[in-house]
Structure 1
Amino acid sequence: MGNKSEVPGFLLFDMSELTDSQFSLLLLIFLIYLMTLTGNLLIILLINTDANLQTPMYFFLENLSILDICMSSIPAPHLFYSYLTQTFSITYSNCRVQIFFLMLFATTEVCLLAMMSYDRYVAICYPLHYINIVDKKICAILTSCAWIIGLGYALVHTLCTLRLNFCYVAIIKGFFCELYQLIQTSCSDSFINILIIYVMASVVGVIAFFTISTSYFRVFRVILHNKFNKGRTKGFSTCTSHLTVIIIFYTTFIFNYFQPKTNRSAAAGLLSLTYSMFTPCLNPIIYSLRNTELKNALRRTLTNRRFVFLK
């Protein structure tokens, strides 16, 4: 039996098939990527320059924006390169790099969204003690834990791919490399790899789901018993933004990874692009449209820049 060294790379099947609509698709991806970079960089800039946004909630939001930029930067550059050179393949080493960073950023975002729900829970249920409970040190610890969990998750799965053998021309049905598709192309026993995927994904998923559901159950209970509290109503407005992001991210992620793999179509490949590119593009729009403080910070920044320019 051969090994992975016999395989120079993998053919990205979905990209090679879209011969008639490549330009339209790449143009759409470019516009989405440009919007993602612009929106998330603007949020990072506002949070770092406006004194009113120096709170734990915006610290987490800044990290989410960083993750969104990183997530969308995994498929986009290689797709542009593939179109320009008309080479719809990827080397084995580059495929593993894509998988590593995809899992790193996706897992970190899953953990960060759960931590943001805990932050909203404390802010609404214990507003008088919020600053003392969720201080800068706790924010740094929670965010570091999210990145460490993501790094550990990605490292374990990437190292496990080293044991796989590829003894034929491999075709990955997608627009970029994903772990399950890589495992499916292997001609060696991949039971251990799949088992590790389900075990680790279940642990991370259950903990994140429990944190989010418990936090928002208590948040909604408090809000329903305090309908006329303006502060909590304002907090609830922020919660709806966060819940919208969670629903979009988890829905596209679950639909992509819990569908039958034997019949994976180009539509499924587009679904992968949705959670890796379209969702990061939506996040800054969702937060900016529903967040008064962000909109006010943008107005102050534009006013100050106009004043400096006129001066």
Structure 2
Amino acid sequence: MMMEKLIHTSNVTEFILLGLSSRPEDQKPLFVLFLVMYLVTVVGNLLIILAIRADPQLQTPMYIFLSYLSFTDICFTTTIVPKMLANFWSEKKTISYAGCLTQMYFLYALGNTDSCILAAMAYDRYVAICDPFHYITTMSHCRCASLLICSCSLSHLHSLLHILLLKLLTFCDSNVIHHFLCDINPLLKLSCTSTFFNEMVIKTEGLVVLVTPFLCISFSYIRILVAVIKMPSAAGKYKAFSTCGSHITVVTLFYGSIFYVYLQPLSSYTVKDRVATIVYTVLSSMLNPFIYSLRNKDLKQGLRKLMGRRKF
């Protein structure tokens, strides 16, 4: 009976995604823009993965985490952009009920995996700078694997919880989503049953899952900052800051847009949130390879070796 209730809870069989613009003249330029962004994202992150895998000098925890972050970014963007591109050419701009929940599942599972990996990378930098003599034992292969498994498992469980709660809601009136993807806030606004429990879970469990990695990152960088200030050598300070600068930039871009979207009341959800959503779903994934490679000599060298092999 419970399974039947979970399956037959909605009269709506599909949703309409309004996208970023309803004007016909905007569709082709937006298609070209997001196609280019998607291709750059896939190629850029794929090059990062291949460079790290191919270079023995890059087989360290920091770069292993980075390769998994790049892989997650490719999957994360693929969850969103192909459907966007199809809708730019479609008049209906529809997505099935099951397709909508599936997209939302992977949106949260992969997005939170990204968040946890960024926290693991911050912890890695903390150990490398604040406790360098125990780095090899602390950041062992077993510890790195455990951090990656936990990042993935907890994120998928979190996503599954919210999908199951959404399945209990009824969507019987409007099926128009004022967004370019299936996100939880626009969907809750469409429900014709009470969303009180869903909102309470978002404000408790959801807030913990969202904020905890950020707090871990903040704590790591506070400790790093204190340790760097105590360094007597200016060259040592510069080296420490340079190894963390790229990661701080990515964290600021990613979490700044996420907090803007999700740390506000459901009723205040507006078109500005769609633009902010682009930042952490598409723009951040596209920029990550450039941010990490431009200021990292080892990664630059790894990319040169990779490109040299391909030419050969």
Amino acid aligned to 2:117: L
Query: Counterpart of 1:17 in 2: which secondary structure?
Result: coil
Question: CA separation in 2, counterparts of 1:290 and 1:180?
Answer: 37
| Structure 2 unaligned residues grouped into runs of 5+ | 1-7
Match of 2:145 among 140, 143, 146: 140
Match of 1:276 among 275, 281, 284: 281
Indicate whether 1:86 and 2:86 are aligned.
no
Indicate whether 1:225 and 2:225 are aligned.
no
Question: CA separation in 2, counterparts of 1:203 and 1:57?
Answer: 25
Alignment deviations for residues 267-289 of structure 1 (CA, whole Å, 9 cap, x no partner):
43222122100110011110011
Q: Which residue of 2 aligns with 1:61?
A: 66
The RMSD of aligned alpha carbons is: 1.8
Instruction: Return the offset for 1:81.
Output: 1.6
Q: Which residue of 1 aligns with 2:53?
A: 48
Indicate whether 1:26 and 2:31 are aligned.
yes
Question: CA separation in 1, counterparts of 2:35 and 2:265?
Answer: 29
Instruction: Return the offset for 1:201.
Output: 2.1
Higher mean C-alpha deviation, range 287-296 or range 256-265: 256-265
Higher mean C-alpha deviation, range 295-304 or range 187-196: 295-304
Matches within 5 A, 1:141-290: 141-228=146-233, 230=235, 233-259=238-264, 261-262=266-267, 264-290=269-295
Question: CA separation in 1, counterparts of 2:214 and 2:271?
Answer: 30
| Structure 1 unaligned residues grouped into runs of 5+ | none
Instruction: Return the offset for 1:302.
Output: 2.8
Q: Which residue of 1 aligns with 2:118?
A: 113
Alignment deviations for residues 231-252 of structure 1 (CA, whole Å, 9 cap, x no partner):
5643421211101100000111
For the structure 1 residues 171 and 234, does the alpha-carbon distance in structure 2 shift closer, same or farther, using more than 3 Å as the test?
Answer: same
Percent identical among aligned pairs is 38
Instruction: Return the offset for 1:177.
Output: 0.5
Indicate whether 1:303 and 2:308 are aligned.
yes
Amino acid aligned to 2:79: I
C-alpha contact 2:229 2:237 (8 A) present in aligned 1? no
Question: CA separation in 1, counterparts of 2:186 and 2:210?
Answer: 20
**Paired residues, what number?**
305
C-alpha contact 2:46 2:70 (8 A) present in aligned 1? yes
C-alpha contact 2:122 2:217 (8 A) present in aligned 1? yes
Instruction: Return the offset for 1:263.
Output: 5.3
Amino acid aligned to 1:271: A
Question: CA separation in 1, counterparts of 2:235 and 2:245?
Answer: 15
Question: CA separation in 2, counterparts of 1:231 and 1:263?
Answer: 47
Amino acid aligned to 1:44: I
C-alpha contact 1:114 1:209 (8 A) present in aligned 2? yes
C-alpha contact 2:27 2:89 (8 A) present in aligned 1? no
C-alpha contact 1:165 1:187 (8 A) present in aligned 2? yes
Amino acid aligned to 1:216: Y
Higher mean C-alpha deviation, range 45-54 or range 209-218: 209-218
Alignment deviations for residues 186-233 of structure 1 (CA, whole Å, 9 cap, x no partner):
000110011111111222234223311211111111111114174564
For the structure 1 residues 143 and 211, does the alpha-carbon distance in structure 2 shift closer, same or farther, using more than 3 Å as the test?
Answer: same
Question: CA separation in 1, counterparts of 2:266 and 2:183?
Answer: 12
C-alpha contact 1:10 1:170 (8 A) present in aligned 2? yes
Match of 1:95 among 87, 100, 113: 100
Query: Counterpart of 1:300 in 2: which secondary structure?
Result: helix
